[in-house]
Structure 1
Amino acid sequence: MTARRVARVLIDSPLPQLDRLFDYAVPEPLAADVRPGVRIRVPLRSAGRMVDGYVVELGEPDATDRPLSEVDAVVSTIPLLTPGLYALARRAADRAAGSATDILRLAIPKRMVRAEKAWLAGDGPAVPIVSEDNREWTETLLRAYPALVECLDDRGRGALDARPEPARLSDGGTTGSWAVLLAAVAVRTLAAGRSAILVVPDHRDQAQLEAALAGRAPADAILRNDARQTSPARYSAYLRMLAPVPCIVIGNRSTVYAPVHAPGLIAIWDDGDPLLAEPLSPGVHARDAALIRQELDECAVVFAGHTRTTDVERLVSLGWVRDVSAARRASPRVVLSATKEGESRGARVPSAAFAAAREALRTGPVLVQVARPGYAPVLVCADCRTPARCAACGGPLHAARRGAVPECGWCGRPATSWVCPRCESVRVRMASSGSERTADELGRAFPETRIILADGDHPVLTVDDRPALVVATRGAEPVAEGGYRTVILLDGDRMLLAEDLRIGESCLRWWSNAAALAAPGAPVHLVGVTGAVARALATWTQPAYARAELADRAPLRMPPTVRVAALEGSAAAVDAALGALRETVPALENEAILGPVPTDAGARALVRFEYALGARVTESLRSSIVADALRVRKNPKTRAPGTAAGARHTLRVRVDVPDLDL
């Protein structure tokens, strides 16, 4: 009997029971094209249809008579799945009790035939060459960060506290100092013949990095990887990453999986931003994926920010990540503003902050940060202060402008005949001011002053250095040329009232990022906030605040001092998974499992476990997911109502949830 060539294939399917390698026979006509990494089409006998998959490896020739299906076709002859990317996807999925195919679906873009043909017809990219002037620029800039240089040379892990000030570019523009620093380490890595991956939360940060990199490295060696690209452009960039020459890749959270040649650096900016947490299954945070990749590729990984998350600070305290702060510390001039004697306690802008804004407007722009967009995000009963809710769906009512009819924030219905269910009043009042109302009020307080509104509906990336009042929601603050002459942080007390375990961390991050936009020496007024978060901002000791938070959470077994997994599904599926977990991991303490509690979809439970038990816990949960999927497949009637036929399993697991929210 003639030996058959065998391809071990990872099938692209959402079904958890198919997340393993399958053996397929390689027919002789396709033998030359079936190579590790190529995308192929194979029959799936259990479903009676053809599916896509990736060749992970070629097995030993098989001379047995065991029945093997044959590879049907080769979709693309380009090896899109590199061995390193598969190893990373497998490790990240196992850590999160998920499927490797879900990770690869985020990392590998959809195939574009024209872009692929153009790439195959080209000559391939040239080896990028960094000029001597740019090499000298990087070395000069990095002299202020000797610990960072040591971390890069050792290919270690570092937590970097970026300088909180704007920086001038060679073309006269302004960007954050953090962007210039990350651009310098990326160019240094490229000059050494290795690739750099820069991961940022959104397009605002990406634009700053691109501006900082302009002219510092060959343009064809700087690649984008984000959702705003067209599909052909993203696929072309992915093919360029596969080329055996180094590059610099800038993009959002999925960029951490970029299959670049000889990775030398992964830098993540502002890892506390929720945009870096992957919402799709299996929900691996970019920070965790970067740490896994650092071990696999032996490259440097740097977590940079104006604040320090408790997740990174825990690793610093363990010695797993080193502190790579600048040799000389810099901090903005933060003023804790409060109402003075004789002022109304309800004054939104105290006299000190008001006077600072008036003085600063003589020379340049002033930033005013607010909590929410819109005109009046929250309305309450004018008599009893009961929150005004929509009679149709129960959503919150808000006003689009002064004197407008209230509208529901959920269904959009106008509340023309609203009546308070508590006191039967028909009058409403504004309980909070959004960005539009704040801009309206400040426009009256500062007549003949230019007002710029920056929020989700009014995106603004940069402003010039002319006097202006810039009213921005948190995270939407534009960069001002030369920096803001004054920064006023409003609504801090309301931000801290949110029911969120990490609200202190989040507020400190929002305020610190806004304070870093101030010109050197310009005052930053934090209005109406006291306590540990305010002191951390005023003294610019964010790592100390993170350490204090960890100390407070440890006795309560709150994340990130422990890992937390959330289980959702039918009551029977959740109970079965918890029972299997207790048997498989007897080291779990009695109080480790919270719940299950009933929900609309069945039941939900939380599991708290130590990091040392992570592999065993996730393996048990993964086995329960597969077992439940197989059970539902055999008996489709047990599928949860509303569940799609292509995703029959009812048990869902999310590992490393950031909050204990039952």
Structure 2
Amino acid sequence: MTSHEAPEAEMLPGLRAAVDDAKAKAAATRRRTAAQWEAAETDPVARVLVDIALAHLDRPFDYAVPTAMAETAVPGARVKVRFAGQDVDGYVVERTSHTDHTGTLQPLRRVVSPEPVLAPEVVELSETLARRYAGARSDVLRLAVPPRHAATEKVASEPAPEAPVVEAPTTWSEVAHADAYLRHLASGASPRAVWAAAPGDDWPAMVAEAVATTYAAGRGALVCVPDRRDVARVDAALADRLGEGHHVCLTADGGPAARYRDFLAVSRGARRIVVGTRSAAFAPVHDLGLVVLWDDGDDLHAEPRAPYPHTREVLLLRAEQQGTAALLGGVARTPEAEQLVATGWAHELAVPREVLRRRARVEAVPAEDRSVGTRIPRAAYDAIRRGLTTGPVLVQTPRAGYAASLACDTCRAPARCTVCTGPLVVDGPAVPPHCRWCGHVESPWACPTCGGHGLRAPVRGEARTAEELGRMFPGTTVRSSSGERVVDRVGDSADLVVATVGAEPVADDGYTAVIVLDTWLSLARDDLRAAEEALRRWLNAAALVRPGGHVVAVGDPAHPALQALVRWDPTGFARREAQERSQAHLPPAARLATVTGDLGALDDVLHLVDLPAGAEVLGPVPVDDEHRVLLRVPRSSGEALSRSLGDLQRVRSARKLDPVRIQVDPLTI
């Protein structure tokens, strides 16, 4: 043996030992891995709803549950799965012991979180909504379950304090049949009602009493309102009635961490009372006993994302599905809510007529009565003057800004931009007119029709209205509330409050008078619901008056909507609207769906869709850069229409045809 061969011979046993050790470790790793990927002994199959918005794949898929995930892959948990060659998110909706799949099941890739955030009742609700609105369940679940916040998930939810002893309701004393409704809630029954709030009603306190009655019976409650200001009012009323720590508010204002924290408190059963906006309608409240919807006519309840469900329909479906009580409240009444009463699905709660007459005096005066030299008629002027002697006065105007539109002072022709023909506006008394579209400043301006140089404002915003009222009532504080400068509350001082629609502050003891200006502008909208929406806006403002206050609406007293305001008869107006729409084959007597896309895609739709008997096809008509087809069927064929549109979506998705946007029961057409 040579000198250089000796060290190699000595090293050989050490190398062999190292190789053998590495092989042993690799074998052990393979055995552990194999053991990890072995199917669980109990319920080894997980049905997973994959987060893919493709209509033809909108169903649960079966996956094998590895032993290592047997305890964490619980129904409702978030998981990662392999789908179409990539890792995608999903929810476990069920664990079972069998599968219809004939091949080998793919295993779950991993459990993202063992937290069961998707409740079984929400799974069922998502399926029902997707079927009704011809959409995908994955889209519904994006609305129902907030994004995960890992750090928040690790913190345990504090249990709610012991439920307090609930005092007997007092704010419902003048509402007919309210005592019977509340008794049913207290007994654990599931009454359903449509409630017409009256002027001077403290509706947040009334909602809080209904919720407290349900809570005292050992059940949860869910309250949906249009916006954050309404959430804050109900939040304060519940805290006053029950104390802190019994409810949560589900809104996006607090950020993702706070929203997820409150969602988990509900999902874990630590809180059983929820107040929120439209997405709160999906909250997984334990032992749900009551769903409440306030002001269902507000367009904020219409979801702008696919599949475009309306909060009213979500809550009504939950009430049917879970056998809960329901309360639809509002100052105004929609034809849809009136239909619930007409069909016997719900009973009506309202104050008697004599109570309404005592609560407020309402009158309508024509705009042409301008005896004080402005667009404020004498009756409105006198109401403001008398009201300011004892408290604040509210003036509602439909437009924000200073001069929302301009016209020639001589011939009344609309003032248009010389660059792009857009409408001219003025933002202040010393600001030259400029174009609302392109921003071009028109100084000087000349009317192309008559050559005149003077401008007038046929439509005046709240800033111009506040300026006029400040000159009419010198020494009076005038406050504006609109746009980004919304005032939430005002005190009892004798101030003039000028507000746009939806931005009206709440007065501590109510307004002494409410003036509604430019009613013609609210009625001039080119929309099926123009009169309904106008009356809703006026009633919501008028309801802020204190008991015995005065309401003056400036407009045509002969118009049916203004007559309904003067009589304070939203129920009768909704009934007549429903009857007229029934004669015209419009909702709620009929079911509608719109299909929007390019002309080629719409041609494909009309060839592929299998419409139910009696269906009408209207259009196509141009809408912006696309075209739209309107499908109309009798209400009894509504489910068949949704089913046909769902089948259409699945066929188009499978064939990878150009996309179209389908909206079932759109709010506007």
Q: One fold, TM greater than 0.5?
A: yes
> Alpha carbons of 1:391 and 1:74: their partners in 2 closer, same or farther (altered >3 Å)?
farther
> Alpha carbons of 1:94 and 1:394: their partners in 2 closer, same or farther (altered >3 Å)?
farther
Are the aligned partners of 1:339 and 1:347 in contact in 2 as well (CA < 8 Å)?
Answer: no
Three-state SS of the structure 2 residue aligned to 1:330 is helix
Cα distance in structure 1, aligned partners of 2:105 and 2:422: 57
1:117 maps to a residue whose letter is K
2:53 match: 14
2:504 maps to a residue whose letter is E
Post-superposition CA distance 1:167-220 (Å, at most 9, x none): xxxxxxxxxx11110010011111111111111001221122122222321422
Q: Choose which of 386, 392, 395 in structure 2 pairs with 1:359.
A: 386
Cα distance in structure 2, aligned partners of 1:352 and 1:139: 36
1:449 match: 476
Cα distance in structure 1, aligned partners of 2:629 and 2:348: 36
Post-superposition CA distance 1:6-57 (Å, at most 9, x none): 2111111233333211112222222221111100011122xx3211110011
1:97 match: 134
1:567 match: 595
Is 1:658 matched up with 2:632? no
Cα distance in structure 1, aligned partners of 2:447 and 2:379: 39
Three-state SS of the structure 1 residue aligned to 2:427 is coil
2:614 maps to a residue whose letter is L
Residue range with higher mean Cα deviation, 269-278 or 344-353: 344-353
1:15 maps to a residue whose letter is L
Q: 1:538 Cα deviation (Å)?
A: 1.3
Is 1:75 matched up with 2:102? no
Are the aligned partners of 2:406 and 2:424 in contact in 1 as well (CA < 8 Å)?
Answer: yes
Three-state SS of the structure 2 residue aligned to 1:220 is coil
Q: 1:340 Cα deviation (Å)?
A: 10
1:407 match: 434
Q: 1:3 Cα deviation (Å)?
A: 6.7
Cα distance in structure 2, aligned partners of 1:398 and 1:428: 10
Is 1:37 matched up with 2:65? no
Within a 5 Å distance, the mapping from 1:458-473 to structure 2 comes to 458-473=485-500
Three-state SS of the structure 1 residue aligned to 2:87 is strand
Three-state SS of the structure 2 residue aligned to 1:14 is coil
Q: 1:287 Cα deviation (Å)?
A: 0.4
2:10 match: none
Post-superposition CA distance 1:110-162 (Å, at most 9, x none): 1111110113xx5x414x43333xx1243775685224325635413210012
Cα distance in structure 2, aligned partners of 1:458 and 1:365: 19
Report percent identity of matched pairs: 40
Residue range with higher mean Cα deviation, 107-116 or 155-164: 155-164
Cα distance in structure 2, aligned partners of 1:342 and 1:66: 82
Three-state SS of the structure 1 residue aligned to 2:540 is helix
Q: Choose which of 549, 567, 577 in structure 2 pairs with 1:539.
A: 567
Q: 1:243 Cα deviation (Å)?
A: 2.0
1:300 match: 325
Post-superposition CA distance 1:432-471 (Å, at most 9, x none): 1100000001101111111110111311000110110000
Residue range with higher mean Cα deviation, 370-379 or 339-348: 339-348
Cα distance in structure 1, aligned partners of 2:171 and 2:474: 46
> Alpha carbons of 1:330 and 1:307: their partners in 2 closer, same or farther (altered >3 Å)?
farther
1:323 match: 348
Is 1:334 matched up with 2:361? yes
1:164 match: 199
1:512 match: 539
Within a 5 Å distance, the mapping from 1:430-449 to structure 2 comes to 430-449=457-476
1:193 match: 218
> Alpha carbons of 1:370 and 1:44: their partners in 2 closer, same or farther (altered >3 Å)?
same
Q: 1:225 Cα deviation (Å)?
A: 0.5
Three-state SS of the structure 1 residue aligned to 2:437 is coil
2:504 match: 477
> Alpha carbons of 1:324 and 1:363: their partners in 2 closer, same or farther (altered >3 Å)?
closer
Are the aligned partners of 2:301 and 2:311 in contact in 1 as well (CA < 8 Å)?
Answer: yes
Post-superposition CA distance 1:69-126 (Å, at most 9, x none): 221111111011010011111111111111111111112111111110113xx5x414
Is 1:388 matched up with 2:415? yes
Q: 1:557 Cα deviation (Å)?
A: 0.8
1:644 match: none
1:116 maps to a residue whose letter is E
Post-superposition CA distance 1:291-340 (Å, at most 9, x none): 10001111011110111111111221111222122468632433324369
Cα distance in structure 1, aligned partners of 2:364 and 2:105: 74
1:558 match: 586
> Alpha carbons of 1:249 and 1:393: their partners in 2 closer, same or farther (altered >3 Å)?
farther
Is 1:269 matched up with 2:269? no
2:149 match: 112
Within a 5 Å distance, the mapping from 1:491-510 to structure 2 comes to 491-510=518-537
1:130 match: 163
Q: 1:474 Cα deviation (Å)?
A: 1.3
Within a 5 Å distance, the mapping from 1:340-355 to structure 2 comes to 343-344=370-371, 347-355=374-382
Residue range with higher mean Cα deviation, 245-254 or 462-471: 245-254
Within a 5 Å distance, the mapping from 1:130-149 to structure 2 comes to 130-132=163-165, 135-138=166-169, 141=172, 144=175, 145-149=178-182
Three-state SS of the structure 2 residue aligned to 1:501 is coil
> Alpha carbons of 1:614 and 1:14: their partners in 2 closer, same or farther (altered >3 Å)?
same
Cα distance in structure 2, aligned partners of 1:342 and 1:94: 54
Three-state SS of the structure 1 residue aligned to 2:572 is helix
Residue range with higher mean Cα deviation, 378-387 or 247-256: 378-387
Three-state SS of the structure 2 residue aligned to 1:519 is strand
Cα distance in structure 2, aligned partners of 1:431 and 1:402: 15
Q: Choose which of 592, 605, 611 in structure 1 pairs with 2:629.
A: 605
Larger Rg: 2
Three-state SS of the structure 2 residue aligned to 1:431 is strand
Are the aligned partners of 1:373 and 1:456 in contact in 2 as well (CA < 8 Å)?
Answer: yes
2:258 match: 233
1:199 maps to a residue whose letter is C
Cα distance in structure 2, aligned partners of 1:550 and 1:306: 18
2:35 match: none
1:631 maps to a residue whose letter is R
Q: 1:284 Cα deviation (Å)?
A: 0.7
> What's the TM-score once normalised by structure 1's chain length?
0.89
Cα distance in structure 2, aligned partners of 1:547 and 1:345: 38
Q: 1:584 Cα deviation (Å)?
A: 4.9
Residue range with higher mean Cα deviation, 12-21 or 261-270: 12-21
> Alpha carbons of 1:610 and 1:370: their partners in 2 closer, same or farther (altered >3 Å)?
same
- How many residue pairs get aligned? The number is 623
Q: 1:392 Cα deviation (Å)?
A: 4.7
